[in-house]
Every structure is written in C-alpha cells, then in structure tokens.
Amino acid sequence: MEHSLILLLFTVLLLLTTTPGTLSQPSPAVAPAPPGPTNVTKILEKAGQFTVFIRLLKSTGVANQLYGQLNNSDNGITIFAPSDSSFSGLKAGTLNSLTDEQQVELIQFHVIPSYVSPSNFQTISNPLRTQAGDSADGHFPLNVTTSGNTVNITTGVTNTTVSGNVYSDGQLAVYQVDKVLLPQQVFDPRPPAPAPAPSVSKSKKKKEDSDSSGDDTPADASFASRNVGSLRDAVSFCFMSALLGWFYL
C-alpha cells in the first residue's frame, strides 16, 4: 500500500513538472550542402600532371567558356587532356610559334561539346566535331576508334590513345591522352584549291571562229597575188600576139 502511494505521488509530480512542448523532439535531418560549380581547372589541378594544359586553358580564355557552359546549361562536355609529358614531346618552340588565335584553336580542339562516356566511344560517329569548328578534312577532323578496351584518336597529324579516365559526373568527362592533339588546319594546312578557268560562251566562241575564217593569212594573200600577176601576163601576151598578127596582115 505504501509502495503504491509513493508511485502515485511520483507520477503526479512528473505530470505537473512536464508541460506540453517540453518533451524532446527528434532534431530535423540536415540537408546536404548543394554541390559547388563545376570547375575544369580545379579538377585538373587535383588530378595533377596537367600544369601546361591548365595554363593554356586560362590564357586562351577557354577555361571561362567551359565554366559558363557547364554551370549555365545542361550541355555536356568531353575533354581530352594532354599531360605535361605530352607537351614535352612537342618540338621545341611549337607553342610559342602559334598566334593567339591558333592557341585558342589548339585548346578548343581538345574539347567536344557533348558528354561521351567510355562505352560511347565504340559507337560514336566520325569525325567528331570539336569546339575548334569545321570537322572536314584539312580543317579540324578528329576520329576515334576502339580496339578492345583501347581508345585510339587520330587527327591527321597526331595518332594517340586515351590512357586514363580523369573525371566523370554525367555532364563532364575528362580523359587523359598521351600526346597533344594537333589539328590539320594549324599544323598541316592544305593549299587552297585553284580557281576554275573561266568558261568561254558558245556565242563568243562561234563569233571568234567566224572572224578567224574570214581573215586571209599572209600565205593566202601571197598566193592570190601571184595568180593575179600570172593571169595579167597571159592576157598581155595574147593581146600583143594578136596585135602583131593584125599588123603583118
């Protein structure tokens, strides 16, 4: 009995000291922080060994273009990133010999304006169009073929392979390549096609043929002159013969 009374008093005290709203509530789940903007140069810096390519991305302004494309639209981007050792394989003075426009074209030639996953390389249509522009032969053609797990790239000047997957998030794919991709228009320009010869209209050609047929050549004029002289001599001889004959009659 005494035990029950103590339990009842404890229950009453607990109810009196507990007010609505003071009971502990489960804390709400913290929402994950939104991901930061995609930055190609930071991705390459984190990967390492792309110092020269990063410098050229920044100096040509292509890095800012990529930043805007990736963060202001849903368009995908694929980048073939040459390592520092790839640039070391270029002939000395190659980069310094390029104009500012050619440097921009060189870096844009490493960028495809769409997302290409590793499996897409097996079914992709050639030539690929890069951000450098025209993919026709002699300009900026880029062809990709596969052999087993190997991805081969040819530009008409450079033949190389994809040596690693640096980054991929469904919108941006970055692949490492073993050589700098050299476009034909910059490093193997084709001479312009010769202009077609002007065509001569039929009426003009006919008139020229008619005019030429009416002209006497020097040989024809000389021949005619000799014939006229011979005829004149023959007539004179006949006339003199007739006159002498009449005189002696």
Tens-digit pLDDT profile for residues 44-54: 999 999 999 99
Residue of 187, 179, 140 whose CA lies nearest to 161: 179
Q: Residue 22: what pLDDT?
A: 43
Answer positive or negative: Cα dihedral of 113, 118, 122, 123.
Answer: negative
Strands 172-177, 77-82: pairing is parallel
The answer to whether the beta carbons of residues 182 and 157 sit under 8 Å apart is yes
The answer to whether the beta carbons of residues 61 and 108 sit under 8 Å apart is no
Cα–Cα distance for residue pair 72/67, rounded to 1 Å: 8
Q: Residue 133: what pLDDT?
A: 80
Residue of 62, 56, 52, 37 whose CA lies nearest to 172: 37
**Three-class SS state of 222:** helix
Within 8 A by CB and 6+ apart from 246, the residues are none
Residue of 69, 124, 97 whose CA lies nearest to 182: 97
The answer to whether the beta carbons of residues 181 and 127 sit under 8 Å apart is no
pLDDT tens per residue, range 17-73: 554 444 444 444 444 444 678 899 999 999 999 999 999 999 999 999 999 999 988
Q: Which residues of the chain have pLDDT under 50?
A: 19-34, 216-217, 221, 223-224, 228, 235, 246-247
Q: Residue 166: what pLDDT?
A: 96
